[in-house]
Amino acid sequence: MSIHPSGVLYGVSLGPGDPGLITRHAWALLQRNDTVWTYPVRSKKSDSYALDIVLRADLSLPAASQALVFPMTHDKAKLAKYWRQAAETIVDYLHTGKDVLFLVEGDASTYSTFGHLARTVLSLDESIQVETVAGVCSFNAAAARLQTSLADTDDTIAIIPASYGVTVIDELLRQFDTLVLLKVKPLMDDVIDLLSQRNLIEHSQFIEKAGTPDEHIVRDIASLKGTPVNYLSLLLVKNPHRQRGEMIRGCRKKPEMKKTGVSA
Ligand SMILES: C[S@@+](CC[C@H](N)C(=O)[O-])C[C@H]1O[C@@H](n2cnc3c(N)ncnc32)[C@H](O)[C@@H]1O
């Protein structure tokens, strides 16, 4: 039983790589000298991308800091074990009365480890207070770096992990003006083939490690065929061929959908 009131767990969004995109709220928390920093790593030996963003902002790692291991695996039992270990470490710190910052790449509410972690922490101690600091998502920063808009006027936009596969991506291309494909690495070649078939290569752009010194932008995405890309990369696809319904009293009437392929 703890004699202190528990500290607060903060999910501190840091934006996708450029320290200039750290919000003032996150910055204020990072300036405090009475907190514990925790940050995700894939293995004990690997670097933390989230921590690197903070270090490039010229902040130093405080004495009270700890890497938490979250392996890249789809094995649910293995993942649950690591989430629990990480949550137990955090709860131990919180029970000393210290606030804990969990450093998050991008935004903590968007495809982030923080959601699972916070739920596991609460399953260990439901009285813990959790706060999420909103941040800039990878795709917002990517659109800015690629100098394109994500959506104009009444455009539709979908953001999905590419792992749903090309059949789903093909279907979504019929319904959305903009498609953001996250976690595209394993499917890159298949997606390039699909976009080529749908005459969308010239409307697609690729960005890797947006906002970092290693940022890599590719506008001719066909040139990436057969080239390994980094996990921290995404494709932004615009579909100018999408059929829109007629505008009636400010609302779009649903268009007649063709059964197969993207309407060209
Ligand atoms: C687990 S999700 C994390 C998303 C993140 N929380 C966000 O708010 O954007 C990881 C995927 O986000 C995308 N991503 C994250 N950071 C990126 C960056 N700096 N540049 C390009 N893509 C990035 C990649 O598609 C990557 O596979």
| pLDDT, position 257 | 57
State the greatest distance between any 2 C-alpha atoms of the chain, in Å, as a whole number: 67
The whole-chain average pLDDT of the chain stands at 93
Q: Is 215 in the pocket of ligand 1 (CB under 6 A)?
A: no
Q: What is the pTM of this model?
A: 0.91
| pLDDT, position 264 | 39
CA 56 from centre of chain: 19
Q: How far is the CA of 148 from the centre of ligand 1 (A)?
A: 18
Q: In this structure, which residue's CA is closest to atom 3 in ligand 1?
A: 111
Q: How far is the CA of 138 from the centre of ligand 1 (A)?
A: 5
Considering the chain, what percentage of its residues have pLDDT values greater than 70?
Answer: 92
pLDDT digits 0-9 by tens, 18-37: 999 999 999 999 999 999 99
CA 200 from centre of chain: 24
Closest-CA residue to 7 (of 121, 83, 133): 121
* Residue 25, φ and ψ in degrees, nearest 5: -65, -50
Is a pLDDT exceeding 50 seen at residue 140? yes
pLDDT digits 0-9 by tens, 238-254: 999 888 877 677 677 76
Beta bridge partners of 204: 237
Separation between Cα atoms, residue 113 and residue 82, nearest integer Å: 11
Residue 207 pLDDT grade (very low, low, confident, very high; cuts 50, 70, 90) = very high
Does an H or E element contain 190, and which? helix 188-197
Q: How far is the CA of 145 from the centre of ligand 1 (A)?
A: 14
The total number of residues shown for the chain amounts to: 264
* Atom number, ligand 1, closest to the C-alpha of residue 112: 6
Q: Is 236 in the pocket of ligand 1 (CB under 6 A)?
A: no
* Three-state DSSP state, 148: coil
* Residue 148, φ and ψ in degrees, nearest 5: -140, 160
* Atom number, ligand 1, closest to the C-alpha of residue 16: 19
Is a pLDDT exceeding 90 seen at residue 259? no
Q: Is 19 in the pocket of ligand 1 (CB under 6 A)?
A: no
Q: How far is the CA of 12 from the centre of ligand 1 (A)?
A: 15
pLDDT digits 0-9 by tens, 61-91: 999 999 999 998 889 999 999 999 999 999 9
Q: In this structure, which residue's CA is closest to atom 27 in ligand 1?
A: 183
Domains of the chain as residue ranges with CATH: 8-136 (3.40.1010.10), 139-252 (3.30.950.10)
Q: Can you list the positions of beta strands (E) in 198-232?
A: 204-208, 216-218
Residue 208 pLDDT grade (very low, low, confident, very high; cuts 50, 70, 90) = very high
Is a pLDDT exceeding 70 seen at residue 57? yes
Q: How far is the CA of 90 from the centre of ligand 1 (A)?
A: 24
Is a pLDDT exceeding 90 seen at residue 125? yes
Pairing of strands 35-41, 99-104: parallel
Q: Can you list the positions of beta strands (E) in the chain?
A: 8-13, 35-41, 65-69, 99-104, 129-133, 157-161, 178-182, 204-208, 216-218, 233-238, 247-248, 251-252
Which residues make Cβ contacts (< 8 Å) with residue 191, sequence separation at least 6?
Answer: 162, 166, 169, 181, 184, 235
